[in-house]
Copies of this chain bind each other. A is one copy, B any other.
Amino acid sequence: MSEHAFFTLLDLIGTFAFAISGALAAHQKKMDLFGVVTLAYVTACGGGIIRDVCIGALPPAGLSDWRYLALSIIAASLVIGTGRLVEKLSQPVLLFDAAGLSFFAVFGAHKALMFSQSIVAAIILGVISAVGGGALRDLLLNRTPVILQKEIYASAALVAAAFQTMGEILGWSLLWLPWAAIVLCFTIRYLSLHYHWNLPRFLRDND
């Protein structure tokens, strides 16, 4: 598999994971058919579209490549068809969201580095790719945006995007680098959910 095909595969896996997460969130809010598909699509493609607009990769892949829309429709159909089953899994939205976060942080950083040749832009756009779709999902659903959640979220994407970007700059092998970065992000996110890890806060009383 070529390097390009490999990274496209990472992107499609992340897309599917986020589409499931968006469809589940919409389904739990009892939205209609179009709403479930829309939330799946916005969650799956929102972050990548913002990234592509910022690096000038136009039209954004999420808009012009039919596979992203198709994956969103498949994810929405799966969630609608097996709603009761999926909801019995513990916190499935959070798990699929963590998977999407990890794949997108790594793919987003890689694509932004290719286009912009800027380390800072690659890291920031990796994070935006990873958290943008979820933030749009929460805006549309009137929920507290994920990036303000108590547990570590965007920080996990930041670690993975920075690891991937620095690894590529240092010439580390793309055979293992992306997977290591993905596992790193997913592990940090999962552990922070499980153990309620938080970053330090700076309360006025503690100053």
Name A82-107 residues within 8 Å CB distance of B: 83-84, 87
A204 in contact with B87 (CB, 8 Å)? yes
Contact of A64 among B38, B121, B139, B158 (CB under 8 A): B121
Contact of A63 among B35, B121, B152, B199 (CB under 8 A): B121
CA distance A204 to B56 in the complex (A): 42
Residues of B within 8 A of A148 (CB): 31, 35, 140
Residues of B within 8 A of A199 (CB): 32-35
Residues of B within 8 A of A80 (CB): 202
A203 in contact with B30 (CB, 8 Å)? yes
With an 8 A cutoff between CB atoms, is A189 at the interface?
no
Residues of B within 8 A of A35 (CB): 147-148, 199
Closest to A116 in B: B59
CA distance A53 to B204 in the complex (A): 38
B83 in contact with A204 (CB, 8 Å)? yes
Residues of B within 8 A of A8 (CB): none
Contact of A55 among B58, B145, B204 (CB under 8 A): B58
Residues of B within 8 A of A31 (CB): 148, 201
Interface residues on A, range: 35 or more
With an 8 A cutoff between CB atoms, is A75 at the interface?
no
Name A151-207 residues within 8 Å CB distance of B: 152, 154-155, 158, 198-204, 207
Contact of A59 among B54, B69, B140, B147 (CB under 8 A): B54
CA distance A155 to B31 in the complex (A): 13
B155 in contact with A34 (CB, 8 Å)? yes
A64 in contact with B147 (CB, 8 Å)? no
Closest to A70 in B: B120
Residues of B within 8 A of A110 (CB): none
Residues of B within 8 A of A71 (CB): none
Residues of B within 8 A of A2 (CB): none
Residues of B within 8 A of A63 (CB): 54, 116, 118, 120-121, 124-125
